[in-house]
Chains A and B, each alone.
Chain A
Amino acid sequence: MLIKKPADIKSSEITDYADFKQRRYFIKQAALLGIGAGLGSLPLQSAAKNTDSRSRPLKPLLKTSYGQGLKQTSYDDITSYNNFYEFGTGKSDPADAAHNLKTRPWNIVVEGECEAPGEIGIEEILSGFVQEERIYRLRCVEAWAMVVPWVGFSLGDLLKRFKPTSRAKYVMFETLFDPDQMPGQLRNTLDWPYTEGLRMDEAMHPLALLSTGLYGEELPNQNGAPVRLVIPWKYGFKSIKSIVKIRFTETMPKTTWWQMQPKEYGFYANVNPQVDHPRWSQKKHRNIGEGIFSGKHETLMFNGYADEVAGLYKGMDLSKYF
């Protein structure tokens, strides 16, 4: 399966890593000089962080053709601009607070409508499946987007191990609930634990990724370590992070954002430029990392993955099942 290179991204626009590092170094120096100190609400220093924790490369890594030619968002942007309310509602909160998360040992409990319920540890997830690099577009419901070189494997490969029965129509996922490690959970911003779900055929689609890393390395905590979902044709909030539980169910699971604001967030949450969020348009998005004057880009149906996934929703009224 080859994802076509969109016309609006030129490879000449890619910042090479050395340039990028140098730029960050300059910003760090400026911050050290104390320029801009004092006004805490200005986000001046945030850009200089998060480059020192790179570690633990994932090997062997199978390169794939997914997203070849897409301009990748920088490691620094991907790891400093996150929605992960378990660590706070600000975009830089996860990068600031996620270092307390312990990702070893880590187990996922698998239960519900399956023949072989059980547990699987992170070491087995890392060694028992071929880790692939897949470059996917990520589209947030807030109308910004990134391109991320994920590491992981098809979610279906893991699910099959637990032998879901014919009664398994949906699969539900849960994030860790532990306010000691996740200080954002001390407040009731969301109904913890964070819960997401997919229809079984969506979950078994080869594009649905269980991700263990990015940029060839294990996931940084703020990106959902040690294991998260990546559903590239759906808005980012469907791609649940730091998963500890998977349950096969017969009925549609009650997912967090959908339950909280059913008029704004649906169960499906497929990227769809024709169906606006009630408070903002979904026709366009801003690519992270393109700078101040770049403007926005047209959002594609299913985030550009229509050829692969449109069939899953044949005959459905997508303005009703949004």
Chain B
Amino acid sequence: MLQFSRSTIKRAIKPVVFVLSLVPFSLLVYAAVTDSLGANPVEALTHQTGLWGLYFLLITLSITPLKKITGMTWPVSLRRMLGLFAFFYACLHLTVYFWLDQSLLWQDIIEDIVKRPYITLGLSAWLLLLPLALTSNQFSMRLLKKNWKRLHRLVYIAALLVVVHFIWLVKADYTEPLMYLGILLFLLLTRTRIFKWST
């Protein structure tokens, strides 16, 4: 049986998670190229990129509670990368919407953003994530000092907007987005004083 030392695992975990995080993207590209996204490929790409953005956002937000509950610290080293993958899928989502769904017809896009609250919310969420992605480097952390942490609390608002964006576009079956809302609220509650695990 293969045995890995603790340090090997520590060194390998980042590249492994990096590659795993690209799997949904690769499968979507493969499916798009081979025309196997079903009858409405643009809708499938829109939904899938949006869902994966939300998944990565929830995974990123679960790292702090995971540390609180289990005491595990190693996932913290993955947090920035996972957060950036959330932004990556959010960018793909936006690109699919602008380009494949709306064919870059800016008049239609602007009308959509102004008149459709769920689109307004989705775009707002992306705009909130943008500065977080841009300042996700050591240099910005040093530069912004205490304000960096304050700025990055915007992720909580962004995540809430993302889930409401999802709820708002559903026609009748709210099960799935409400499930994500539940998970998100739990993750946010663990950050409040109601939950006191240790340290």
Contacts and interface: CB of A to CB of B under 8 A. Distances in A.
B15 interface: no
A17 interface: no
Contacts of B132: none
Contacts of A23: 35
Interface string B20-55: 000110011011101111111111110010010000
B30 A36 contact: yes
B36 A293 contact: no
Contacts of B100: 292-293
A189 interface: yes
Given A189-B173, A281-B111, A43 B37 contact: yes
Nearest to B111: A281
B39 A81 contact: yes
Contacts of B43: 144, 286
Interface stretch (A44-52, A110-118, A158-166, A218-226): A44-52
Contacts of A89: 171-173
A44 B48 contact: no
What's the dominant secondary structure at chain A's contact region? loop
Interface residues of B, number: 35
A31 B36 contact: yes
A260 interface: yes
Given A286-B42, A293-B100, A296-B103, A279 B34 contact: no
Contacts of B171: 89, 142
B191 interface: no
A196 to B, nearest CB: 15
B149 to A, nearest CB: 33
Given A30-B34, A296-B103, A77 B111 contact: no
A44 B40 contact: no
A92 interface: yes
B169 interface: yes
Interface stretch (B5-13, B59-67, B112-120): B112-120
B141 to A, nearest CB: 34
Contact of A292 (B30, B41, B48, B51): B41
Given A276-B115, A279-B118, A291 B31 contact: no
Contact of B172 (A31, A41, A85, A284): A85
B98 interface: no
* Top 5 A-B residue pairs of the complex, sorted by shortest distance between their CB atoms: A81-B39, A89-B173, A77-B39, A295-B103, A27-B36
A289 B31 contact: no
Contact of A39 (B27, B37, B38, B44): B27
Interface in B68-91: none
B168 interface: yes
Interface in B102-153: 103, 108, 111-112, 115-118
Contacts of B23: 39
A288 B40 contact: yes
B24 A39 contact: yes
A279 B27 contact: no
Given A39-B27, A77-B39, A279-B118, 17 more contacts: A31-B36, A39-B24, A44-B27, A46-B38, A47-B37, A89-B173, A91-B39, A190-B172, A280-B116, A281-B108, A281-B111, A283-B108, A286-B42, A292-B32, A292-B37, A292-B42, A295-B103
Q: Which of A23, A43, A45, A187 has its CB near the most chain B CB atoms (within 10 A)?
A: A43
B27 A36 contact: yes
A42 interface: yes
A293 B41 CA distance: 10
Given A288-B40, A291-B41, A42 B34 contact: no
A186 to B, nearest CB: 13
Given A36-B30, A44-B27, A144-B43, A92 B173 contact: no
B38 A47 contact: yes
Contact of A41 (B45, B48, B112, B118): B48
14 contacts: A36-B36, A39-B23, A39-B27, A41-B48, A44-B31, A47-B35, A47-B36, A47-B39, A85-B173, A89-B172, A190-B172, A281-B115, A281-B116, A292-B41
